[in-house]
Every structure is written in structure tokens, then in C-alpha cells.
Chains A and B, each alone.
Chain A
Amino acid sequence: MAETVLETSGLTMRFGGVVASDNVNFKLKHRELRCLIGPNGAGKSTFFKCVTGLLTPSDGHVFMRGQDVTGWMPHQVASLGVGIKTQTPNVMDALSVHENIWLAARRFFDPAEARARTGDVIDRLSLGPIARTDLGQLAHGERQRVELGLVIVTDPWLVLLDEPAAGMSAEDVDRMTEIIHDITRSASVVIVEHDMQFIRSIAETVTVFHQGRVLMEDHVDRVMTDETVRRVYLGKKA
């Protein structure tokens, strides 16, 4: 059995009276690709933030490769070799694509190596023509792609993406799918996603969140046909 790289036990986050994350037990294996789905407000992002250190959970624990990282700061979590993309875009708007990615690479590599890796990622994500453009001037899809570049340039062993395909064109989503498949060759990946098309095209195991809890966890096909899931989530759209 493969090693567990990410685990939460009893993870709970309360905002006043709201229990945004309620006793979540979660396990991710080495090189696994996992999608988190659930209706708006289900607590996916809250769970995500507790794992990445952006929030300190009210209760419960987070383990990465067996190490207790509960209450760590985001930079400490990232320093373990975890690549993170939040739901709201987080990039350096006044800096160029190249500089954005270089800054990420520089965290783990010397200037020359960082430069080389930045060039590689720019090629890999076909960002060449806009490499010297400031992020603020780019379209939404391009910005998402650059942010993905920031995440993968350091070869993280765990990649956490909150809605990476949100607001993207079909073409951009296809490219994103390809990149994510690429990432899973060496890393474990957790993706929070809304887009069903996208999930069908990449997911194997899916965890469904509902009102802060894990409603179901199973293969994507079984989740899609499950009555309860359809009612709480898909039902609204169908």
C-alpha cells in the first residue's frame, strides 16, 4: 500500500457559530489525484486553508508525510515542498510572468538554476510570448496558467489547487488538464473544483463535501450517479 502523504483527523473550523469544516478525516496517498467537490459554501476552501496554514483549525490535526503540521504558517508548509494555489488568484500583478515564476523558483534554487527552471516552465506552459508582460495586463486564463507555473516550478511533491479551472475557456481547461496529468507523474494532487466536465476528465477518486462534512468518498462514476450527491449538488443544476 502506498504511503499516506496528507492526512487530516477530526479537522474542524468554526467561524463564530458557523462550523465551516466539521470533523473532517481525510487521507491522500502518494501520487494520488483527488478532487474535492460540493456546493458553494460546503467548506472546501476552508478545509483547504486549514491544510495550507492560511487558517488555524479550531480542532483536529493535519499531517504531511507523517509530520504534524497543525498550526504551521503557510510559508512553513510551503517550505516542505508543497505547491499551493488559492481560490482567489494570488500573483504579483506589477511584475512580469518571468519574474513571478523566477521568485517561486528562487525559493529553493540558486539564481542560475532558478533562471533555467523558469525558462523550462515558461516553455512547458507556452508562456513564451508573454514572458515579459506584467501579470496585471493578462487575461484571467493566462493568469491562472502563470499561477500554476509558480506552483510547479519547484517540483512540489504535494500540489493543492483551489478551483484552478474557474473562469477558464474550454481550450484553457484542456491545457490545464494536460498539465495536471503531468504533475501527477511525480506528485500527489488535491483539486477543489466546480466544473463537472473538468472533474470527469481528470478525476478518479472524488470527495464530496456538504455543510462542512464529508458526504461521500468514492470513484467519480459512482459519485456522479449517487442519489444523495445528485440531490445536494448536481440536482441544483440539472
Chain B
Amino acid sequence: MDRSAVRDVIVTLVVSAILIGVMPMLISTYTLTVLIIYGMLGLSLGLIWGFGGILCFGQAAFFGLGAYVYAISAVNVGESTLPMILAVLLTAGFAALLGAMMFYGRLTDVYLGVITLVVTLILFKFINSTAGPQYVIGKARMGGFNGIPGFQTLNVPGDPGAYIWGDAYYYVCAVALIIVYLLVTWLLRSSFGRIAIGIRENETRMALIGYDVAARKTVLFAAGAGIAGLAGALYASWAEIVTPTLFSLGQSAEIIIWCIVGGLGTRLGPIVGAAGLAYLKFLLGQQSMIDNTLIMGLVLVIFVLFLPRGLVPAIGALWQVSVGHKVRRRPARRMRRARNG
């Protein structure tokens, strides 16, 4: 690892340790947990859209799939470790199949959007229609629009009696997000990540260089879906119930808005956008004067008009302007002082 990578890791760890310690003084850990989970979901789309150029209208489908895989297997296994792993792997596998179909089919961006949207819709409709007693997977009843309640939530691996909940669950989710964030960082610094960004910039050129663009997009797409699946599983364990609304198009649209508002093409932006907007929605939910979808729409419009690159890049630019000046000036002043005496 080179020095900038090491510095990156250290900064990430220090800043997140501070945030993990400070935030519970401001917001309840129960709410923070779901904000973290949404942050992870935002990051999952931020990875494939912001760095891979793949705009997926169905990221909620992967979130929902992860949640359902977790719930169904947790009912059957009665322990949470395997279900967590399955939630990631099966979701990623599903995305790999879907992605291979789309990318090897040389679909244009518009059709890609349409297909991911339709897949989300089909999953939503299908799960909604599984109310009857014939829809059973092992011991788990699908339950249609009522969803699946009462499954095993997160426990200490190997000890189903030792539930991880409350503050402890908050810390687990926070650490999970940090690990995922560092993995994404590593991925983007690797050759694979740099090539993915090249593909985002110019697919034709990358193909003419000799890269199998379809294969690489499929892998990236599956990785993003795997992260969304993990977020879904953590969400299921937090909410203690999964319902088809997880697959709703509204949810997919919100993830896209998180990325735009937070800043596409950054790792932090989608996390900040997700947590920030989800918290805003939570606050708005506590009052009934203004319709909160209206506010969400307004926030999006304001950002698209005034901060089109998103919050994080804007703050970054501001930081560079103010701090960058000082950093450049300070040594000069010090030198002058040294010369004078």
C-alpha cells in the first residue's frame, strides 16, 4: 500500500470512531442504526453508478432481496450467520445473472434503466401475491403483503440465544459500514476499480484497448448488489419484519436522490446523502403540516439547480478554497519571518 492509501484508512478510522462516539448524544441509536443501513444502501448504488456509470433503477430490489433472503433463511436456520452470508451471496448472484443478460445483450443505458425498473416491479408484484399458504420456503411462509415477521435477528455467531440488539446492534452496523467503505476504497484503488472508471468514461475506448467491458460491468454490478443485499439483511434484522414495500419503486427513486444530493462519483457522498435525507424524512414524519415527498422533491430540485455535483464535492471544493489558500500562504509567511530574524 502506498502512503496516501494508508493515510486514507487512518483518516477513515479516526473520523468514523469520533462519529460513532458523538452521534448517539444527538440521535437515538435506534434511528442511527437505520441511517447507517441506508448509508450502506446509498454507497451500493454510488459504487456502480458513480464509478461504473451504471444507472440502476432497481437498487431497492437488491435491498429487498437481501432482506427477504435473510428473513427466509433465518426462519429456517434459526441462527443469523449463514443467513447474513446468503443475503450477500444470493443477491450478488442474482445481480450477476441479470447484469450478464443486460451487459452482454449490449443494452443501451435507457433499456438498462427500464429493465432494472421492471425487475423491481415484478419482484414487488410477485412477493405481494404470495399471501396464500402454498407459498412456503422451508419453514418460512412468504405472507404476501403482510411480509415475514418473527425471524431470528442478529446473534453472536454460533450462539442463537445471544441476540445483538439496541446499542450493540448500532455498533455492529457502524463497523459493517466502515468495513464496506474500506473495501470499496480498496476496490476503487485497485486496477479493477481504475478500469471500471475507464469504462464509465468511455466504453468503446476500453473495448478497443481489449477489455471485456460486459464482464467487468457484470462483476461491478454484482458487487454493488451484494452490498445492497447486506444492507437489506441488516435492515431486516433491525426492523424484525420484511414486507414487499422494501421493493417499492419509491424506495429505488429515493436511493437515486440520495446519490445525486450527496454527490455522485464520491464514496462519501451517497452515504451522507442517504443518512441526511433519511433523517430529514424521519423528522418530517413527526409532523403532518407538510407532505414529506414534496420536501424531498424540493430538496432534489434545489440540489440539481444549485449544487449539481452534490453536497460532498461542494464541501470539498469549499475546503480547498479556504484551507488551500492558508496552506499555500503559511510557509511563505514563516519563511519571511525566519529571514527577518
Which A residues lie at the B interface, using CB under 8 A? 52, 54, 73-75, 78-79, 84, 86, 90-95, 99, 102-104, 106-108, 111, 150, 154
Contact = CB atoms under 8 A, between A and B. Distances in A.
Nearest to A153: B209
Given A75-B212, A104-B209, A107-B209, A92 B204 contact: no
A92 B209 contact: no
B272 interface: no
Contact of B201 (A75, A79, A95, A154): A95
Contacts of B204: 54, 74, 86, 90
Contacts of A150: 205, 209
B111 interface: no
Contacts of A154: 210
Interface stretch (B141-149, B189-197, B278-286, B309-317): B189-197
Contacts of B296: none
B335 to A, nearest CB: 26
Contacts of A78: 207-210
Contacts of A75: 206-213
B207 A73 contact: yes
B198 interface: yes
B129 interface: no
B12 interface: no
The 5 closest A-B pairs by CB, nearest first: A78-B210, A92-B201, A90-B205, A79-B210, A74-B207
Contacts of A102: 194
Contacts of A108: 210
Nearest to A75: B207
Given A78-B210, A93-B202, 5 more contacts: A78-B207, A86-B204, A86-B208, A90-B208, A91-B205
A111 B1 CA distance: 13
Nearest to A114: B191
Contacts of A54: 204
A92 B198 CA distance: 6
Most chain B CB within 10 A, of A75, A92, A104, is at A75
Given A75-B212, A75-B213, A91 B202 contact: yes
Contacts of B211: 75, 107
A111 B191 contact: yes
A107 B210 contact: yes
11 contacts: A74-B208, A86-B204, A86-B208, A90-B204, A95-B201, A103-B195, A103-B198, A104-B209, A106-B194, A107-B210, A108-B210
B213 A93 contact: no
A91 to B, nearest CB: 6
B268 to A, nearest CB: 19
Most chain B CB within 10 A, of A92, A99, A103, is at A103
Nearest to A106: B191
A101 B77 CA distance: 51
A110 to B, nearest CB: 9
Nearest to B215: A75
Interface in B178-198: 191, 194-195, 197-198
Given A99-B194, A106-B195, A93 B201 contact: yes
Interface string B196-228: 011001101111111111000000000000000
Contacts of A104: 209
Contacts of B207: 73-75, 78
Nearest to B195: A103
Contacts of A99: 194, 198
A106 B206 CA distance: 11
A64 to B, nearest CB: 14
Contacts of B210: 75, 78-79, 107-108, 154
A92 B207 CA distance: 12
Contacts of A84: 208
Nearest to A110: B191
Most chain A CB within 10 A, of B198, B205, B206, B211, is at B205
A154 B204 CA distance: 18
A45 to B, nearest CB: 14
Interface string B89-100: 000000000000
A86 B201 CA distance: 16
Interface string B254-297: 00000000000000000000000000000000000000000000
Contact of B202 (A73, A90, A111): A90
Contacts of B202: 90-93
Contacts of A93: 201-202
A93 B202 CA distance: 8
Contact of A103 (B194, B212, B213): B194
Contact of A94 (B201, B209, B213): B201
Contacts of A86: 204, 208
Contacts of B198: 92, 95, 99, 103
Nearest to B204: A90
Most chain A CB within 10 A, of B201, B209, B211, is at B209
A91 B197 CA distance: 12
A9 to B, nearest CB: 24
A187 B42 CA distance: 48
B222 to A, nearest CB: 19
A202 B78 CA distance: 75
B253 to A, nearest CB: 26
Contacts of B195: 103, 106
